[in-house]
Structure 1
Amino acid sequence: MREFNLIINGNSVGTADYFDVINPADKSIIARCPKASVEQLNDAVAAAKAAFPAWSALTYEQRRDQLMQLADAVEDHGEELMTLLTKEQGKPTKGFADLGAGFELGGTLAWIRATASMDLESETIQDNDIARIELHRKPLGVVGSITPWNYPLLIGIWHIIPALLTGNTVVMKPSEMTPLTVLRFGEIAKAILPDGVLNVVTGEGDIGAAMTSHKDIQKIVFTGSTPTGKAIMKSAADNLTRLTLELGGNDAGIVLADADIAACAPKIFATSFINNGQTCAALKRLYVHESVHDELCEALTNMAKSMKTGNGFDEDTDFGPLQNQKQLDIVKALAEDAKDRGANFLCGGEVTDESGYFYPITLVSNINDGARLVDEEQFGPILPIIKFSDVEEAIASANRLQVGLGGSVWSQDIKEAQSIASRLECGTVWINNHAMVQPDAPFGGVKDSGFGVEFGEAGLKEFTFIQTVQIFKS
């Protein structure tokens, strides 16, 4: 069994303590992961701080060149990284609609290359006989990245590539549930990037807490739960550390009476159950007009019944296990509450394989606002389908919760769909799709789903401060 090491200042560093990493498909121990001490975290931050002056002094073109080399190296190690993803996260190598580990690797490569191709140019806001005023974007310093267990490599890339491109240095902490792919990525990166520019530490909550309160970390980027995001805000307050928080969502989709069900159903299914529902921006509450409710339920049920849940290394597996026991318990509890309320389980709802953290694709109708399955983010393969008769009811229902990551409207009338979309309280609204993110389109939440954005020029700016230069001519 392999023991992985921390990556600090370009070196592979062991620790006194290690913890086990579990394969969610069979509950076996697959690796030993280093448990960093606070002193080792301090070493990583010090290395990043020392590397910052030289890295930030490089031009965008020079940093871009190294990041493109990194993308090529990741691609060269793609099969190895995909295997680690399936082992530690559970997602199939291929899976339903090719949305498994290969999809995460492909997204990783696309995001590195697309983000590294961007620039932040200086702006001139005044140039007259008196003065020229320029706005320059300057890097912040050391950035701390804390990532979740659902897309360990891809979300890590979302955090670190814009930080590195804009001249910052980085300390990464992946989830203790899925640390291996990021540690291997760190090993690959240290052969390309200068020492200290990218450091990887692993551990449990104490290391995350030490990062968020660290006086030499200028910014924290966090993707995860709302309660943890709020704790990070408190921890970061004393140092006025900048934050980007992408927190929990419970995205609503509204299917109007004129929706083309044959066209919509496959997209709704895919975007509800992508990564087994363990996706921040997955469709998690589906409000369907009564006139098309039964047709859509039947179409989704037929698709669900054709899916196989199993070990991600089996070629015919569509969906793997949930990543951990805690998440499986949450899904089971929400399902039991729905059953107690008399909801109709169109398919799934019963665990039949306890060899891993498996839960079948599950569709639930005859359920309303107020049920836990509707009001709480399930983050798993179970979708509540709520019937409505008045679109005003659906809009109110979509907005009633204190979350606002994404939402969608499904209709053939684009003008009407846009009108409804403008009233949804969320950071991104899709029309006739859901959960589609791309490197050049800003993405972020409102309300308890966080603040700040990722992706595109707006995402790059999150890793900089404005320096105003006023040049007087007389």
Structure 2
Amino acid sequence: MEERAALLARVSAGHGTEIKDPATGEVIGRVAFGTPGDVAAAVDTAAKAQPGWAALDDQERCAALMRAADAIDAHAEELAYVVSREQGKTMNGLGARYEAAGCAAWVRATASTPLPVEVLVDDGQSRAELHYRPIGVVGAITPWNWPMIIACWQIAPALRMGNTVVQKPSEYTTLTGLAIAAVLNEALPPGVLTAVTGAGDVGDALVRDPRVGKVMFTGSVKTGMKVIEASAGNMPRLTLELGGNDAAIVLPDVDPQAIAEGLFWGAFINNGQTCAAMKRLYVPDAIYDEVVDALAALAAKIPMGVGLDEGNVLGPLQNQMQWNVVNRLVEDAKVRGARVVMGGDPDAAAPGYFYPKTLIADIDNAAPLVQEEQFGPALPIIRYTDLEQAVEWANGVDVGLGASVWSADRDTALAIAARLQAGTVWINSHGGIDPRVPFGGAKRSGYGLEFGVEGLKAVSVPQVISG
């Protein structure tokens, strides 16, 4: 066995459900899915470990997180191998190695973020301070698109604030979830982080457990609504990062060649399987053809294939379900008369869940490919003549995770950004995130903030001390 496969073998079970590589269909391991009873046992472990973990001071917990980041670095190639084999992303580009490195960087940033006591009043007669205390046990339900780094986004701040965590990875990327937990646990005290495996019934049991004081969930709007319903009886705090259908508005003053690369990766990072990826591109008539041509020329040069092939930078979709969604939306666009600039012709008989890089031009804004989140490598490019109409279209969906404005005039771009209904609006880029900068959605894209100081506050209980 090659050395980088050691971690995959370590987290694979000798029995249970077969896990297949989405690029080749090869069986790469097995997972023994858990039950609601396993959730109860995991929460019990976390609840017993929490007082001791919370009793450590902030500096001690941060030091443990720094050691956890070192462990990620030590296993970076093994982690990248696991996520490439199970999720499908390529080793290079914005792929598996990028995700592994991001995990370590994010954990370190979380441990380095200052959170001083806030003095609210100190007028010589009275003093009021705002402190942040642990919640207790946090349930972290993580998705299949970025299964390692999103786990770290949830786990690291929860631990930093003195909570313990029960992590439930997606049933589509369970091995990856187990792998990142195993590596983190090399540096953490026993019981502080516990992973449970399973499908919806296991996640439901975690959300309903009365000992879980906070639930963090990243996934679809539909499942997010189920989390809200299941949690109602116990009223845990919630952070929900749900679906997006991010719009980008290009203004006529840009150079199409200069922005083509930024537009492409804004849409096609992780093969479009990113909540805050660009899903709709609005381009003015004056430069529409130039933008479409520049995107097509760039896309044609981007190699797609099996993730372990070092020359590839885009891989397959992760699962058949998502392949079906992308294919349905693209086929509908064809029927409606939209122009297929490239792609849109998958080989359903080929191994793996590959869907070609697809650009769809001259598509009506009302088409499902525009109005629904495709979550894959198919970008609709909508022509507009009136900027007011483009803003209205951009705001015309029920989600609002991210958006972007592309212009040579920053002041103009900022004015338009202020009118877009999204949690984050980027100027002349799309999808970039920073561990120091809060991130969250508007409308049905969820609520609560992650990252930075606000993310730490979100996994703690505010307490005012007056006197």
TM-score range, shorter chain: over 0.9
Unaligned runs of at least 5 residues, structure 1:
7-13
Give 1:305 deviation, angstroms: 1.5
2:116 aligned with 1:121, yes or no? yes
2:340 aligned with 1:342, yes or no? no
Matched letter for residue 315 of structure 1: E
Label 1:37 to 1:3 Cα distance change in 2 as closer, same or farther (>3 A).
Answer: farther
Q: Percent identity?
A: 48
What does residue 191 of structure 1 align with?
186
Give 1:332 deviation, angstroms: 0.4
Q: Distance in 2 between matches of 1:211 and 1:5?
A: 22
Give 1:466 deviation, angstroms: 1.1
Q: Is the 8 A contact 2:178 2:195 kept in 1?
A: yes
Aligned length: 460
2:311 aligned with 1:319, yes or no? no
**Cα displacement string for residues 17-52 of structure 1 (whole angstroms, at most 9, x for unaligned residues):** 722212101122211112112222111101111111
Give 1:376 deviation, angstroms: 0.4
Q: Pairwise mapping of residues 223-302 of structure 1 onto structure 2 (< 5 A)? A: 223-302=218-297
Q: Distance in 1 between matches of 2:124 and 2:429?
A: 52
Q: Is the 8 A contact 2:69 2:184 kept in 1?
A: no
What does residue 435 of structure 2 align with?
439
Match for 1:77 among 75, 79, 83? Answer: 75
Look up the SS of the partner of 2:373 in the other structure: coil
What does residue 418 of structure 1 align with?
414
**Cα displacement string for residues 355-381 of structure 1 (whole angstroms, at most 9, x for unaligned residues):** 110001000001021101000000000
Q: Distance in 2 between matches of 1:139 and 1:71?
A: 22
Q: Distance in 2 between matches of 1:215 and 1:221?
A: 15
Q: Distance in 2 between matches of 1:172 and 1:115?
A: 18
What does residue 351 of structure 1 align with?
346
**Cα displacement string for residues 229-285 of structure 1 (whole angstroms, at most 9, x for unaligned residues):** 001000001101110000000000000010122221110001110000001110110
Q: Distance in 2 between matches of 1:335 and 1:78?
A: 36
Unaligned runs of at least 5 residues, structure 2:
2-7
Look up the SS of the partner of 1:43 in the other structure: helix
Q: Distance in 1 between matches of 2:186 and 2:403?
A: 41
**Cα displacement string for residues 153-201 of structure 1 (whole angstroms, at most 9, x for unaligned residues):** 0000011101001111000011111111221222222232111100011
**Cα displacement string for residues 46-71 of structure 1 (whole angstroms, at most 9, x for unaligned residues):** 11111111111111110011100011
Look up the SS of the partner of 2:170 in the other structure: coil
What does residue 372 of structure 1 align with?
368
Matched letter for residue 48 of structure 1: A
Matched letter for residue 49 of structure 1: A
Matched letter for residue 347 of structure 1: M
Give 1:5 deviation, angstroms: 5.7
Give 1:130 deviation, angstroms: 3.3
Q: Pairwise mapping of residues 124-135 of structure 1 onto structure 2 (< 5 A)? A: 124-135=119-130
What does residue 9 of structure 1 align with?
none
Q: Is the 8 A contact 1:4 1:33 kept in 2?
A: no
Look up the SS of the partner of 1:152 in the other structure: coil
Look up the SS of the partner of 1:133 in the other structure: strand
Q: Is the 8 A contact 1:251 1:284 kept in 2?
A: yes
Match for 1:453 among 424, 449, 452? Answer: 449
Q: Distance in 2 between matches of 1:169 and 1:22?
A: 31
Q: Distance in 1 between matches of 2:107 and 2:185?
A: 16
What does residue 57 of structure 1 align with?
55
Look up the SS of the partner of 1:419 in the other structure: helix
Matched letter for residue 127 of structure 2: R
Give 1:392 deviation, angstroms: 0.2
**Greater CA deviation, 290-299 or 36-45?**
36-45
Q: Is the 8 A contact 1:3 1:33 kept in 2?
A: no
2:32 aligned with 1:37, yes or no? no
Matched letter for residue 32 of structure 1: R
Q: Distance in 2 between matches of 1:203 and 1:18?
A: 11
Look up the SS of the partner of 1:243 in the other structure: strand
Matched letter for residue 75 of structure 2: H
Look up the SS of the partner of 2:307 in the other structure: coil
Q: Distance in 1 between matches of 2:100 and 2:387?
A: 39
Q: Distance in 2 between matches of 1:129 and 1:303?
A: 64
Matched letter for residue 269 of structure 2: I
Calculate the TM-score normalised by the size of structure 2: 0.96
What does residue 401 of structure 2 align with?
405
Matched letter for residue 428 of structure 2: N
What does residue 5 of structure 2 align with?
none
Look up the SS of the partner of 1:119 in the other structure: coil
Q: Distance in 1 between matches of 2:400 and 2:435?
A: 20
2:100 aligned with 1:102, yes or no? no
Q: Distance in 1 between matches of 2:125 and 2:429?
A: 51
Q: Distance in 2 between matches of 1:408 and 1:440?
A: 20
What does residue 10 of structure 1 align with?
none
What does residue 88 of structure 1 align with?
86
Q: Is the 8 A contact 1:186 1:199 kept in 2?
A: yes
Match for 2:386 among 384, 390, 404? Answer: 390
What does residue 4 of structure 2 align with?
none
Give 1:128 deviation, angstroms: 3.3
Q: Distance in 2 between matches of 1:71 and 1:5?
A: 19
Q: Is the 8 A contact 1:60 1:119 kept in 2?
A: no
Matched letter for residue 91 of structure 1: K
Match for 2:24 among 23, 26, 31? Answer: 26
Matched letter for residue 22 of structure 1: K
Match for 1:213 among 197, 208, 216? Answer: 208
Give 1:129 deviation, angstroms: 4.2
Q: Distance in 1 between matches of 2:124 and 2:185?
A: 50
Match for 1:464 among 431, 456, 460? Answer: 460
Matched letter for residue 279 of structure 1: T
Matched letter for residue 74 of structure 1: I
Match for 2:141 among 146, 151, 155? Answer: 146
Calculate the TM-score normalised by the size of structure 1: 0.95
